[in-house]
Amino acid sequence: MAETLVLERIVEAGRKLFARQGFHATGMRQIAKTAQVSIGSLYHYFRSKDELFLAVVRRAFEERLAQARALMRQGLPAPEILRQVLFVYFGTIAQDPETAQLLSRVWAPEDAALWKKLGALLEEYARAIAGILEEAMAAGAIRPVHPLLTAYALLGMAGAVTLRAAQKDAVAEEFRRLGGENLAELAWQALRPEKEAR
């Protein structure tokens, strides 16, 4: 139990600092201080700053996947699942500038070596989304698509809008406000069953 709490404090400290300062400007000693753990404890859990950053990103992705799966278990129609997932995603970005900054750093990482590692994590996330799409196809809720290609297309669409929504101007504010609804509609137009497209 105590180990879980320490790990949670470290990941949360990393999330805040990476979001506020970026990857390069954040040091492991600063993360340890913010998490109120020794530098030795920090390195016990994470061998490098890269590893901690990936853990922070993984947590953000897993929260969104859990939400999508919970909506599917409720038996909601596919367009409503899309709408709710994207609405919550962009609602979080709109209400929490730190999350907006963190997610924008995922789509435009500061470090080329880190991008390769993020690519592996994005592949894992895309495959999980592809699994959800396969379930939706099997239930006849969406048209037949290439699940992995479609997952990457959805991620790319959300990523591009996230990058722009993380800025601090009127357009970014509009993207944060309308992003979920607009992207859900675009995605549904591409995925809805052919019988509904007529």
Please determine whether the domains at 1-47 and 54-197 fall in the same fold group of CATH: no
Answer whether CATH 3.30.470.20 is correct for domain 54-197.
no
Token representation of residue 113: 């070596």
Q: From CA 45, how far away is CA 192, in angstroms rounded?
A: 44
Tens-digit pLDDT profile for residues 57-92: 888 888 878 887 887 788 778 788 878 888 878 877
Instruction: Find the mean pLDDT for residues 27-43.
Output: 95
Phi and psi torsions of 24, nearest 5°: -65, -35
CATH code, 1-47:
1.10.10.60
Residue 45 has pLDDT above 90, yes or no: yes
pLDDT of residue 196: 65
Domain regions of the chain by residue span = 1-47, 54-197
- Rama region for 61: left / alpha / beta (φ>0; ψ in -120 to 50; rest): alpha
What span, in angstroms and rounded, lies between the C-alpha atoms of 121 and 114?
11
Segment 52-62, tens digit of pLDDT: 999 998 888 88
Q: What is the overall mean pLDDT for the chain?
A: 87
CA atoms within 13 Å, Cβ hemisphere of 41 = 18
Query: Residues 133-177: pLDDT tens digits?
Result: 898 899 888 999 999 999 999 989 988 998 898 888 999 989 988
Taking Cα atoms as reference points, which of 49, 63, 46 lies closest to residue 7?
46
Distance between CA atoms of residues 144 and 83, nearest Å: 20
